[in-house]
Structure 1
């Protein structure tokens, strides 16, 4: 009996190995999405804002499905009525696809600013977060309190209020050249990056602080015993391990920042969400555009999550913070 079970397990394992894993499928879909997005950006920057596929073609398919469904309903009969319901569903899906084909180029332009806000904001925030977290864990009383004060002030106030302060209160836009063409975004975008950097640094500092505290204190002592200074021990022994432990927290911060980038619309940045809202105001197709926006954000979030999982695997050290089954 046990032999039959082991044989069945081996058979299932061989059958499962023939199919790609969910991560492989996700990476393939993400690669296709980003390939389309990059090609779309290049087309926009070269002056081509037209859809790659004419929306009229997809609209013709929707009209065909709807006409066939009406004919089935007129013919009568429960079976034809049942099939007609599916044809009406196909027509609605085709109409949504036609809407997406027509307005995806506009959303792609807004997505460029969303990506800029997210990537630049989180990278600059990391530059600030590392010394803040080190000061929290290894600094003296003054640096600890200064770091704690900054972190709690930023985490305790809304991101939208912070954007209003840097844009309207401090009027930082006057320090940035107002360029809004091609690769160079406008002044409001750079102000938004400042706001996101300030905010993200505080949250990243807490992620890194908890990661540093998870590194055994004896490792710094061992580093000192072989002749490293305290700073070198933190730099070469503790930080490399702590930053690896912080990757799951970074993943959360990256996902949050992708979604919170929509707040930049309140300081006149026409990013992804604001682009969709403008389309909804012009077309009154609120359900279609917000469903399309949800799918767009979902694609960005899932691809970011898969990328950070890949980074975690690439920098993993055997026996150090590696999850089981990975």
Structure 2
């Protein structure tokens, strides 16, 4: 078997363009997912069963149906309704790029919401009671205690979800988007070198995954920085006092 390595270098700019589009899809869909997941998770931990019903149905649908079907429902299904075509949303929903971003965002929101719900419920009860004892309002307690602690707990699993979303973004090529996978298939159709191009695309996916893992390691350390305090050496006046003792 003869490998034509030159075809990779010749088409590397095109593959880089596809990789950039893949990063955009993952970033914007992840942003939408987090913004939707926070209220969904808070509703899921409500003590009222009727309040929990709607987010549960949403999460059940998006976790229980294939991502490919969800993409087709948004991209092809929206055009079946006249009121959608006549609405102000049609300039967005007729574009495959935004259909992919919206679908990926709705899809990943369901998974992030469940991760966040589990993290909220695993926060030690004493921390919540201490916040209430200090007189914190519910919004302030969410901002200062609940959400930061929950994000610290869920960050490793959240990183895995982003990587899964990265791999799922390859389905964007099914609606004419030239992401990394779509661009690789286009190049293969012209050069007839599937092994070389798919190998190059796989290496690019690995590099993006490594970048995501690194970013989430930093985020995990940031949200859990309180756990590293005992191991840090005191500085300034405190260190001088301790040295005198």
Normalising by the smaller structure, the TM-score range is 0.7 to 0.9
Where do 5+ consecutive residues of structure 1 fail to align?
Answer: 1-88, 179-185
- 1:277 is aligned to 2:185: yes
Task: Flag the 1:139–1:265 CA change in 2: closer, same or farther, 3 A.
Answer: farther
Identify which of structures 1 and 2 has the higher relative contact order when contacts are C-alpha pairs closer than 8 Å and 6+ apart.
2
- 1:203 is aligned to 2:203: no
Q: Using the TM superposition, give the Cα deviation of residue 235 of structure 1 relative to its aligned residue in structure 2, in angstroms.
A: 3.2
Q: Which moved more, 1:203-212 or 1:228-237?
A: 228-237
Give the equivalent residue in structure 1 for 2:35. 127
Whole-angstrom CA distance in 2 between matches of 1:224 and 1:311:
27
Match of 1:302 among 199, 210, 217: 210
Whole-angstrom CA distance in 2 between matches of 1:195 and 1:301:
21
Q: Deviations over 1:1-41 (max 9, x none)?
A: xxxxxxxxxxxxxxxxxxxxxxxxxxxxxxxxxxxxxxxxx
Count of matched residue pairs: 222
Q: Deviations over 1:75-131 (max 9, x none)?
A: xxxxxxxxxxxxxx9x95xx42x2221011111111121111100000111000011
Q: Using the TM superposition, give the Cα deviation of residue 197 of structure 1 relative to its aligned residue in structure 2, in angstroms.
A: 0.6
**Contact 1:125–1:200 (CA<8 Å) still a contact in 2?**
yes
Whole-angstrom CA distance in 2 between matches of 1:306 and 1:210:
24
Q: Using the TM superposition, give the Cα deviation of residue 247 of structure 1 relative to its aligned residue in structure 2, in angstroms.
A: 0.9
TM (normalized to structure 2)?
0.83
Task: Flag the 1:218–1:138 CA change in 2: closer, same or farther, 3 A.
Answer: farther
**Contact 2:92–2:98 (CA<8 Å) still a contact in 1?**
no
- 1:176 is aligned to 2:91: yes
TM (normalized to structure 1)?
0.64
Give the equivalent residue in structure 1 for 2:130. 222
**Contact 1:280–1:286 (CA<8 Å) still a contact in 2?**
yes
Whole-angstrom CA distance in 1 between matches of 2:54 and 2:144:
25
Give the equivalent residue in structure 1 for 2:152. 244
**Contact 1:220–1:230 (CA<8 Å) still a contact in 2?**
no
Where do 5+ consecutive residues of structure 2 fail to align?
Answer: 231-245
Give the equivalent residue in structure 1 for 2:99. 191
Q: Deviations over 1:167-206 (max 9, x none)?
A: 000137972369xxxxxxx921111000001001000001
Give the equivalent residue in structure 2 for 1:160. 68
Whole-angstrom CA distance in 2 between matches of 1:295 and 1:104:
12
- 1:212 is aligned to 2:127: no
Whole-angstrom CA distance in 2 between matches of 1:228 and 1:177:
41
Give the equivalent residue in structure 1 for 2:242. none
RMSD of Structure 2 on Structure 1 (CA): 2.3
